[in-house]
Structure 1
Amino acid sequence: MTFLKGRSILWLLIPAAFVVPFLWDWSEKPKPVFLEESSNPDYYLTNTQTIEFNSQGQVARRFSSDKTLHYIDIAQTHLQSPKLSMSTEQNQQWHVSANSAISNELSEQLTLDGMVEITFESQRQSNAVLSMPKLLIDFASQTASTAEPLRLETDLYLLTATGMDADLQKNTIEFKSEVISQEK
């Protein structure tokens, strides 16, 4: 009898020897290092400047930043102290500056953050300065928008509002709500 008891334990250990490695194989495997999303940029630039020309060879946009960090995994470029200048067909100038910005490469959008300031220069009209905490510029549609409180100041008046949509080609701005205007 003791001979059969020893063999039955042996017969139970043989299937267990196959089950344990099988269950071990089903355990979660770690991702390979090269597949993990990196928090490090794939390149880093300082004091960069980009100039874009239109079909007539004139400067259409000029862009500069103190520091540029590009992340290929998320298709974004992070910028410190960005400055953007755009010219319209009527030779009017838009200048945009902020503390930081994120450029989404797939959507052609630039999100400016922190002390965003837009200056509009025109020979026929007085210059205007528009300031807000955050702004989204869409280069594909040549529009800009924000839902944040903003302030528009010229030589003649001061305007405050919450939210706006701007057409950069037509030089038009539509304020959304809480619009208060006063003469200086």
Structure 2
Amino acid sequence: MNWRIVGIIVLLFGLGLLLVLRPFSDDDEEGAATATKLMQPDFTAYGLETKIFESYGALAHQIRSEEMAHYNQIGLTELKQPKYSVFSQDGTETWQVSAEQGTFYDDKTLILERSVEIQALLESSPIQRIMTEYLVIDLANESMSTEYPVIMRGPQVVVRGDGLSADMSAEIMELKRHVKTVFQPKS
């Protein structure tokens, strides 16, 4: 066999191996995810509560979690089984949001994931439960949003949609895209 052909085959094999291994790849997302997994938390707490107060002293928000792991370097706290509570100006707990896991960032953004359920605590609320798989809560602006499918349940209605935006201070909630509504009148 000709040495040139052997050299070309070896060169092509080497280039193919480089493409498969990609040692020069600079994938920031993979690197950041790996760094977070390898990073040790600054502290871990169990059964901890975080309370956020209004400027005049009233309790506005509360976050409880079975387990919290805080990473000071990257400014986030991982939460297991978090429960987020919203309080009215008179101190009444109006909504409770729970999920399997969550992340609380230093900029007062709370991201909840997997089996997210928003429960109305006032019986007079026309919507009693809202379910989705992902929810972003901006505590600074008192807003909630998701692009994921949403199911809203009330005493006599079930509403399905894609995406939700809510202004907690104005008590306004809006589906981004309505899919289906089923009325269930009482007999």
> TM-score scaled by structure 2?
0.72
Equivalent-residue separation in structure 2 for 1:54 and 1:138 (angstroms): 15
Task: Report sequence identity in percent.
Answer: 26
Contact 1:92 / 1:120 at 8 angstroms: preserved in 2? no
Structure 1 stretches of 4+ moved >6 Å: none
Structure 2 residue matching 1:140: 3-state secondary structure: coil
Structure 1 residue matching 2:158: 3-state secondary structure: strand
Match of 1:68 in 2: 68
Match of 1:139 in 2: 139
Contact 2:116 / 2:131 at 8 angstroms: preserved in 1? yes
- Offset of residue 103 of structure 1: 1.1
Contact 1:121 / 1:127 at 8 angstroms: preserved in 2? no
Equivalent-residue separation in structure 1 for 2:114 and 2:123 (angstroms): 29
Structure 1 residue matching 2:46: 3-state secondary structure: strand
- Offset of residue 54 of structure 1: 3.0
Which amino acid in 2 is paired with 1:101?
Answer: G
* Pair 1:96-2:97 in alignment: yes
Match of 1:154 in 2: 154
Equivalent-residue separation in structure 1 for 2:158 and 2:124 (angstroms): 19
Match of 2:117 in 1: 117
Deviations 1:77-100 (A, max 9, x none): 100000011112364601010000
Contact 2:145 / 2:165 at 8 angstroms: preserved in 1? yes
Structure 2 residue matching 1:141: 3-state secondary structure: coil
Flag structure 1 segments of 5+ consecutive residues without an equivalent. Answer: 1-35
Flag structure 2 segments of 5+ consecutive residues without an equivalent. Answer: 1-34
Equivalent-residue separation in structure 2 for 1:125 and 1:69 (angstroms): 35
Deviates more, 1:50-59 or 1:156-165: 50-59
Deviates more, 1:121-130 or 1:77-86: 121-130
Match of 2:8 in 1: none
Structure 2 residue matching 1:155: 3-state secondary structure: coil
Equivalent-residue separation in structure 1 for 2:138 and 2:57 (angstroms): 23
Deviations 1:48-85 (A, max 9, x none): 11233334543322221000001112111100000011
Distance 1:162 1:69, change over 3 A: same
How many residue pairs align between the two structures?
148
Deviations 1:131-179 (A, max 9, x none): 1000000011110000000100011100000001100111111111143
- Offset of residue 39 of structure 1: 0.8
Which amino acid in 1 is paired with 2:128?
Answer: A
> TM-score scaled by structure 1?
0.73
